[in-house]
Amino acid sequence: MPKPETITHKKLLLAEGRDAELFLVWAGRHFRPEIDFQVMDFGGIKELTNFLKLLANDESYDNVETIVVARDAETDAKAAIESIQNSMRLAEIPVPEKPFEYTQDSSLKTAFMIFPGPENPSGRLEDLCLSTVENDPLLECVDDYLECAKAKGEQLPRIHKNKLHAFLAGKKDYAGLPIGLASREKAWDFEHPSLEPFKRIIQEM
Amino acid sequence: MITDVLIRNFKCFKSLTVPELGRITLISGRNNVGKTALLEALFLFLDHRNPGMALTQYGRRGVETISGTLEAIWNPMFCDPDKEILISLAINGSHKQTKFKFNREFLPPSPTTVQPEERQIPTDEEHTTLAVDIEFSGKSSEKYILHNFLDPNNNRLTIVSKKSPSKISLPQASFLASKKHNPTNEIAKQFSNLAQQDRENEAVDFCKIIEDRLKKLKVITEGPNSSVHGKLRGEPSTRIINFMGEGMEKLLSLIVAIAHSPNRIILLDEIENGLHYSILPKIWEALGKALRKYDCQLITTTHSYECLQAAYEGLSEMPDDFRYIRLNRKGEDVSAKLSNYEMIGTAIKTKLEVR
């Protein structure tokens, strides 16, 4: 059994799922090379409240200075924001009024980030990743391929995933990699303007 | 059922509050944080009319004798011997507390019968001695003070009281230690109670979780010693249960403690000891059902993540009955952190350390 994870840093970045966790590990290292933060997977959004409460039970929790939560907007960014705020409220930690904004009380500073970014009413981490490679000519081939697949009768309810993996499949170094490992292999442009709000929050941790 | 606990000045606890205990409460924390001490505080409260309460407790830790004065016997119980120990519990919604403190001017009662050669020379002075005063209070009328002291006539621990405490009832409790085998006579006695009610198969079924060849359990008495023996399918004769392995002995001790009298509080140190991880979910499931059936409460400790995972799996039908307490130490202070069943599910899913 892998060793269960405990709090090791004063700055915590909490991600929804393994892919988001690894994405933030590598994006975070790029934005904050001193690597003085810890990225943790809080499971699914239904687990966030419990996860935050469990963190408070950790013997090192008193040392924690900053908590940043990141999740997908999915189909409704407004609902995603309310859901995070509700979890923070139930866990009795400071609740920011807006995403990509810090708030704090006497001992803890908190923020939350919504993928793919502050201006998007819906979307996911995959959309953010693809936005960083928007000028890559391979995307034309990806669009053509998925249009062709649809024309052949394929149902693609999670088109964001199809698009991302089709893009990675067309690259020599990234074929077959999940989004998190592709992040490690620098498949995404971490300096792209679409990552600017995330960069700012991580640098201000 | 104990639901809330406040302990002050007991062993490693300057002050410890433990809220919202459940029918099944699993306690964890690092070595030497006070998991066993918490069980001992609860048992001391429930056992405070037993003259040998302190020595009984040390015996479970493998310290069979402490020679010398009452101070030597009682000092290890105190965080600061100059202050009183307070153990306050909410039991079935009613708050009760017991205080323990040294009384250096205790005047022991005169012996009612004194042999001529032991008769003391009469003097005008009153001979005081050291005692531990145990002050119990519950509802307004539920109050008494006991004095635990070494009787100078026989050097045995004795308890005296001006007011009889017998009318005030407290839950029965069993303490199952991790390092010590539970007395075979006691297990045999409790098992006999079950057998007299024709319920010995409840114990057999429980022990079958470990040993599916077990056909029968029975008490065999030889001289002053009684012990429970088990008969395995295919074996010609019975074997004493202790020789069937630590796990069998542990399961039998547990089930007889639960089943032989209802409304009991079972305090069990290191539940996973002697038990293979693969059967732990079944044990938790069976334990949960037995505890509900007999309206008993289990408060137990663990170091094992597998044990915690097994509890989550085995108690899926009774999530509201489960509580998990992690004891954390910061400097000299120990605090209790509570998790419910759902939180433990999240911890397991996200592989978060909660021990």
* Number of residues that this document lists for chain A: 205
B133: β partners: B101, B147
> Is there a domain that residue B313 lies in?
no
CA distance A109 to chain B (A): 22
Sheet arrangement for strand B143-151: B13-18, B2-10, B85-91, B94-106, B129-137, B143-151, B156-161
- What single-letter DSSP state applies at residue A123? B
Question: A3 to chain B: which residues are within 8 Å by CB?
Answer: 353
Cβ <8 Å between A57 and B337: yes
Asked if residue B165 is part of any domain, the answer here is no
Does the residue B213 lie in any domain? yes
CA distance linking residue A205 with residue A201, whole number of Å = 6
Q: Which helix (H) or strand (E) holds B151?
A: strand B143-151
In a domain, B212, yes or no: yes
Evaluate whether residue B127 is within a structural domain: no
* B residues 22-81 closer than 8 Å to A (CB): 30
CA distance A1 to chain B (A): 9
Nearest residue of B to residue A1, measured between CA atoms? B306
Q: Any idea how long chain B is? A: 355
Residue ranges making up the domain that contains B247: 182-259
Query: Is B330 in CB contact (< 8 Å) with chain A?
Result: yes
Task: Give the CA distances from residue A180 to residues A24, A186, B24, B221, in Å, rounded to whole numbers and listed in that order.
Answer: 8, 10, 40, 67
CB pairs under 8 A between A and B: 57
Q: Do A51 and B352 make contact, defined as CB atoms within 8 angstroms?
A: yes
Q: What ipTM describes this predicted complex?
A: 0.90
Q: Across the interface, do B354 and A51 touch by the CB < 8 Å criterion?
A: no
Predicted confidence at residue B166, as pLDDT, reads 61
Look at residue B154 in the predicted model and tell me its pLDDT: 85
Beta bridge partners of A5: B352
Mutate to test the interface with A, among B18, B325, B346 (most CBs of A within 10 A): B346
Say if the Cβ atoms of B350 and A41 lie within 8 Å.
yes
- How many Cα atoms sit within 13 Å of B344 on the Cβ side? 29
Position B190 in a domain: yes
Query: CB contact, 8 Å: B295 with chain A?
Result: no
Contact B343 A53 (CB under 8 A): yes
Predicted TM-score (pTM) of the model is: 0.89
Distance to chain A for B319, nearest Cα, Å = 15
Q: In 3D, which of B344, B326, B353, B335 has the Cα closest to residue A8?
A: B353
pLDDT of residue B119: 42
Q: What is the pLDDT of residues A159-188, one digit of tens each?
A: 999 999 999 999 999 999 999 999 999 999
Whether residue B270 lies inside any domain: the answer is no
Q: Which residues of B touch A4 (CB under 8 A)?
A: 305, 347, 351-355
Q: Do B351 and A58 touch (CB under 8 A)?
A: no
**Cβ separation B343–A43 shorter than 8 A:** no
pLDDT value of residue B94: 92
Ordered per-residue pLDDT tens for chain B, 355 residues: 999 999 999 999 999 999 999 999 999 999 999 999 999 999 999 999 999 999 889 988 888 777 778 999 999 999 999 999 999 999 999 999 999 999 999 988 865 444 444 444 444 556 788 999 999 998 877 889 999 999 888 888 999 987 766 667 889 999 988 866 677 888 898 899 889 989 889 999 999 998 999 999 999 998 888 899 999 999 999 999 988 888 888 899 999 999 888 899 999 999 998 888 999 999 999 999 999 999 999 999 999 999 999 999 999 999 999 999 999 999 999 999 999 999 999 999 999 999 9
Domain count along chain B: 1
B53 vs B198: CA distance, rounded Å: 33
Q: From chain A, pick out residues whose CB is under 8 angstroms from the CB of B323.
A: none
In B, minimum Cα distance to A49 occurs at B343
Contact A57 B338 (CB under 8 A): yes
* Contact: B343, A59; criterion CB under 8 Å: no
